[in-house]
Amino acid sequence: MKKNRLMTMLALGCLLFLPQGAWAAEITPFYTQNQSPLVQIFGLPAAGNGVIVPAGHLDATLAQDMASNYAKTIDVPTRERILLDGESERTTIALRYGAAQGVEVGLDVQLIGHGGGIFDGFIEGWHDFFGLPQGGRKEAPRNRLLYSYEKDGVERLRLDDSSFGIGDVRLSGALQLYGDGPGAVALRTCLKFPTGSSAKLHGSGSTDLALWVTGSRDNLLEKWGHWTVFGAAGGMVMTDGRVLKEQQNNLVGFGTVGIGWSPAQVIAFKTQLSAHTPFYGDSSLPEIGDAAVQLIIGGTIAFSAKTSLDIGVSEDLAVYTSPDVALHLALTRRF
């Protein structure tokens, strides 16, 4: 089922509009976040574009995130142990509409799935090829789903049944604070509602409100296209959820910084660092109590001035705080 959805995304990209006229591939942050099963349930937003959607236009994005999780940590002194072994996927339909000059509104609907997966062999080969540590993957059963967390002799979290269903719905808004020539700054906000099942880790059970500033600056090159720097920073407040409720933090900070280069109108290469403070406390385990930092590398294929496909792969720079490998695809069309 996961393979079919992935192939559908790629096929849609190939079938969309042929190039017409001249344009430059736009360089924007990847529309993805930390895909840890204990983090993606919250309303952590993607950085977003520093340039909001023009008045009267609609940006529609179909995004697919697939993450391979494996982390096993035991801390004897604090009587804690955690095992995160499985694959998760998230399909997002994101709509952004220019409601007025300098004003944008949006809606995100997500479908969340957890399962044993099919990529364990591929991930092990990836790590071997690049000389990365396996972290115990080869000793674990193949294609297993088991998320388990124990503290003080009590199992506080367990998920071992595959599922796929609706996640938490998000409403968003943005104001263009500055937009003059190559530079742009926008103020963004997002309100997430607890519509997904917290028992199946499709949602957190909390209502989350995020507020952040995102900006970018584009720079022309004399012979080799253009390059862009972008960044974002903000914070999010959350009501008490239903996942590890006793340990959940109600305030987190987050940020992104990245750079991209487009040597030709049909393609751009980009990389970004994304980080956030811990969503949980009262734990010595990195999967629960540490800040996360992940690197995302990839690029954009521009099929036309209005249609593009982002492809990215992420790695956990702060080990065990995010999936060690995650694939991101995002097809965007402006109407």
Q: What is the pLDDT of residues 17-38, one digit of tens each?
A: 444 445 568 999 999 999 999 9
Q: Return mean pLDDT, the chain.
A: 89
Q: Write out the residue range of the structural domain in which residue 123 sits.
A: 2-334
Using the predicted structure, report yes or no on whether residue 9 has a pLDDT greater than 60. Answer: no
In this prediction, residue 7 carries a pLDDT of 45
| pTM above threshold 0.85 | yes
Mean pLDDT over 245-253 rounds to 97
Does residue 46 contact residue 34 with C-beta atoms inside 8 Å?
A: no
pLDDT digits (tens, 9 = 90+) for 294-323: 999 999 999 998 999 999 999 999 999 999
pLDDT at 4 over 70: no
Q: Check: CB of residue 196 under 8 Å from CB of residue 165.
A: yes
Q: How many domains does the chain have?
A: 1
Which residues are registered as beta bridge partners of 262? 226
**CATH number for the domain harbouring residue 14:** 2.40.160.40
Count Cβ neighbours within 10 Å for each residue of 41-72 and write b for 16 or more, e otherwise: bbbbbbbbbbbbbeeeeebebbbbbbbbbbbb
